[in-house]
Structures are given as structure tokens and as C-alpha cells.
Amino acid sequence: MAASPSKAAHKAGAGHGFPWPAAGVAVIIALAMAGTGLLLAAFNAPVRQPPQPVSAAAPTASAVADVNRAKAKPATGLARSVPIEVTIPSIGLETRIMTLGLNDDGSVQVPPRSKANFAGWYQRGASPGEIGNAVLVGHVDTAKMGPAAFYNLGLLGPGDTVEITRKDGKVVEFTVDGTQSYPKDEFPSGLVYGPADRAQLRLVTCGGTWSEETAYPNNIVVFATQTDVTS
């Protein structure tokens, strides 16, 4: 399923006037992952529901902003470096990260189904550790292999940690502020792709209960803030 940047931005609830290309790119995972990443309908896969966020772990826009302000530090950040591995101890995830951009139609790329156990870094945003929102996307499952890299993303809650290893050898630790599941037509583009005054991380996958009519109707988003760096 493809859409032009303008149409996708409208569907994702964008139109906030972001200062960098992700504004139009709010094409986002809502379209790219539902349309090309999972394709479960094409395989007539059984209905399944990956773990979903609990309501207590679901931040609102204002709640996330409050958390970020409370943790705010001087906006020094790290130099840009490509992320190569993500580790999330609480859900037993350790996997490679591939670099992603945009498809010809303006939608955000996702890892190919042959690499559904990889996460993907949206390279038009910040790299993990830079000031701004670093965005990683991943499949929740595929018809052929079943659970994929981000299948258990919905289990993450406040206080869980995410570690990103970068090409420069630094390991950036992020602490989860909260996790939320959004209907795809209410995707929080500003919170995911918009500007930030310190190093943030957003993890995105599909969520809700899959059906032939809607595929996965939601996107799960994990919001996290940098809390440590090691070399």
C-alpha cells in the first residue's frame, strides 16, 4: 500500500509543520509496515495478537513532554554515528540494525521480510545519541517466520532500558518513558519524527489484533530518553 507524502501525512495526523523532512514523511510506519512490511493477508495467516502495552504504560503527548523536561540536560549530544545493534534485556532482544530511508513513493522503508529479525534505523532522523528523535522500526511478525524482531515491544514499560551500539564503538543507553498503541489514523507524528531538545529514541512496530480486513490496525510506539553512554 503506497501513498504520497501529503496523503500519508494527512492519514497519520501530521501537518504540524516540522522543521525537517520527517513532516512529509509521516507516511510512516502506519502505511509502510501495514502495506509492504507484513503482508499477512496475502498469506492468509491465522489471526494473532502480539503483546500490547498496558494502559498504565501509555504516555500522552503532554506526559512524555513532562518526562523529557524533568530529565533535561544541556543539549550537547554525541556526534553522528550509524547504529549497528540494539539490545533490550527485559524482552531478551539482541539484533542487528540496518539503515533505512524512503521508498520511491515517499513512504518509510522497513526491513525486508527476509530480514524480519533485524531492526531498521530511519537515517533521515537523528542517530542514537544525537540531539533529536532517533527512530527504529521493526516487524512484529511475518506469515512465514512468525514472531519477528519487535514482537514483544508492547511489553516494555517505564524504567526498562534499551541499549544501542554505534559504529563508533559507543553504547548509548535509553530508559523507557512509556509505551502506547495508536490507531494508525491517529499516529503521533510530532512525538515520533518531530524535534527534540535532547537525545531521544522511538521504537515503532505494528499492533492491535490482525485481521484480513485491516491487517494490524495500530502502531505501537516506545518513547525513551538517553540516560547513559559508555565506550
How many other C-beta atoms lie within 10 A of the C-beta of residue 138?
27
Confidence tier at 108 by pLDDT (50, 70, 90): confident
Residues 6+ apart with CB under 8 A from 19: 195
Phi, then psi, of 62 in degrees rounded to 5:
-70, -35
Domain chopping of the chain, boundaries: 5-72+79-230
Q: Which helix (H) or strand (E) holds 35?
A: none
Residue with cell 549530544: 77
Q: Where residue 180 falls among pLDDT bands split at 50, 70, 90?
A: very high
List, in order, residues 6 or more apart from 65 with CB less than 8 Å away: none
More confident residue, 153 or 21: 153
- Tell me the residue ranges of DSSP E strands in 110-155: 119-122, 132-137, 141-142, 146-147
Task: Using the predicted structure, report yes or no on whether residue 94 has a pLDDT greater than 60.
Answer: yes
The Cα–Cα gap between 186 and 208 comes to 14
93 near 149, Cβ under 8 Å?
yes
Q: Say if residue 168 is exposed, middle or buried (CB neighbours under 10 Å; 0-12, 13-18, 19+).
A: middle
Say what the pTM is: 0.78
CATH number of 5-72+79-230: 2.40.260.10
The whole-number average pLDDT for the span 118-138 is 97
The whole-chain average pLDDT of the chain stands at 79
Can you name the residues that pair with 161 across neighbouring β-strands? 175
Q: Rounded to whole angstroms, how far apart are CA atoms 46 and 192?
A: 30
The total of other beta-carbon atoms located within 10 Å of residue 225's CB is: 21
Chain centroid offset of residue 97 CA: 12
Mean pLDDT of the 45-53 span: 75
Distances in Å between the Cα of 202 and the Cα atoms of 4, 56, 132, 169, 189 are 23, 18, 10, 21, 11
pLDDT at 34 over 80: no
